[in-house]
Amino acid sequence: MTELSTMPTVRSSLLDPPAEYDKLREEQPVTRVRFPNGSAGWLVTRFEEGSAVFADPRMSARRPRHDTPPDEGYDPEKPGGALDPGFVFMDEPDHGRYRKLLAGRFTPKSVRTTLQPYIDTIVAEHLDAIAAGPRPVDLIEALALPIPCLVICELLGVPYSDRDGFHHATETMMDTSRTQAERDKGARWLIGYITDLVAAKRADPESTGLLADLVRTADDEASFLTDRDLVNIGALLLFAGHDTTMSMIGLSSLTLLTHPEQRRRLAEDPSRIGPAIEELLRYLTIVQFGLGRVAKEDLELGGQQIAKGDLVVVAMPAANRDPRVFTDPDALDLDRKTVRHLAFGYGVHQCLGQNIARAELMTILPELLRRFPDMRLAVPAEEVPMDVHGTNYGVRKLMVTW
């Protein structure tokens, strides 16, 4: 194989992306690299070119996974894994047909009217439990994990009592340090779980939730939805709907605890929470290994000639620190007036659940600051265990006291 530099994956500090991105962004913003799975492709580190990749219809969302090391006999040209990612790996017009079925439940208005009262209630309940419980407390286990799990269970109609099972399966699937066989084991558990849940929803005409609604849609003779579609959609929403937001809640809490002046100003003026959330999303950018596309034809990008079939990965944490777009990009500035970022992707495949994630963050963070003004880390920041192998960067355990 041709000797290529490897994609940067090692972080030099707690809340910053790999330092090598800075040099690449200035000198080789579109460059050939070797990805962790052994395949070669293009890495994009600037905001403008990254946005172009996500918006270009000549770039296909159907791509192999690039962030996992190879097993023996692994073929990097073949997409692996037991879980079919479904419509998120589809191009138009197929992608749009599936997304249209779901989009109405994820609009800002729908989130405000159907989910926000529930989010308000469960956040208050969990903060009450934290206040009444022992100290120190793990903020991940007590808040960052249960809230997104409860919300996605409420939306889909999934029993919250099954949380441990689907969360463990998700962790296994998304752990890039595990073998393909181990990740597939988690995926198959999730497939079996959703398959059984679809059957239970179909057998109960009084069943509620988005998954039950989709079952009824699929049972219409005019529908294009299959049972395989139902399982793929249910599994995708269940694992993506809690793991990503859990990571963001944990990282945002850690960030505020380690930036006391920014935290103080936000606590004094909670009305600033909207722009603050966008800045946290930009600054942290939890999708730590980026998202890929495959060129459907020969094209030019950032002065480089991309061949048909080439894998192109946008390093979103690097693009969101691009000084061409953001003044002093490595500084956390909760007062940034305009924050365009790629934390949720860009274009037609932009994250479907972003409004739910925002609603959870905008509810949790101000209340956490109000209820616990003296909260602090119970261990030195450098001892906080981080998830460096997950598809999403996050905090494994966040011990706090007050």
Beta bridge mates, 311: 294
How confident is the model over 274-320, as pLDDT tens digits? 999 999 999 999 999 999 999 999 999 999 999 999 999 999 999 99
The DSSP secondary structure of 348-383, one letter per residue, reads GGS-TTHHHHHHHHHHHHHHHHHH-TT-EESS-GGG
Q: State the Cα–Cα distance between residues 152 and 234, nearest whole angstrom.
A: 10
Residue at token pair 């450098």: 382
Give the range among 104-113, 177-186, 199-208, 259-268 with minimum mean pLDDT: 177-186
- Evaluate whether residue 110 is within a structural domain: yes
Q: State the Cα–Cα distance between residues 169 and 149, nearest whole angstrom.
A: 13
Judge whether residue 28 has pLDDT over 70. Answer: yes
User: Which carries the bigger pLDDT value, residue 76 or residue 243?
Assistant: 243
- Evaluate whether residue 322 is within a structural domain: yes
- Evaluate whether residue 4 is within a structural domain: no
Q: Which candidate, 237, 247, 246, 248, places its Cα nearest to that of 152?
A: 237
- Evaluate whether residue 122 is within a structural domain: yes
Judge whether residue 83 has pLDDT over 80. Answer: no
Q: Work out the pLDDT band at 74, boundaries 50, 70, 90.
A: very low
Judge whether residue 191 has pLDDT over 90. Answer: yes
What's the domain count of the chain? 1
Q: What value does the mean pLDDT take over residues 326-353?
A: 93
Please compute, for residue 300, the number of CA atoms within 13 A of its CA located in the half-sphere on the CB side. 2
Residue at token pair 């945002």: 252
Judge whether residue 84 has pLDDT over 80. Answer: no
Helix ranges (DSSP H) in 258-340: 260-268, 273-284, 316-319
Beta bridge mates, 137: 400
pLDDT for position 102: 95
pLDDT for position 356: 98
> How much of the chain exceeds pLDDT 70, in percent?
96
pLDDT for position 2: 53
- Evaluate whether residue 215 is within a structural domain: yes
Judge whether residue 192 has pLDDT over 60. Answer: yes
Three-state DSSP at 294 gives: strand
- Evaluate whether residue 14 is within a structural domain: no
- Evaluate whether residue 12 is within a structural domain: no
Instruction: Look up the domain containing 243 and give its range.
Output: 20-401
Judge whether residue 1 has pLDDT over 50. Answer: no
pTM summary value: 0.93
Beta bridge mates, 314: 44, 291
- Evaluate whether residue 2 is within a structural domain: no
| CATH number of the domain that residue 348 is part of | 1.10.630.10
Judge whether residue 81 has pLDDT over 60. Answer: no
Which amino acid type is present at position 343? A
Q: Work out the pLDDT band at 67, boundaries 50, 70, 90.
A: confident
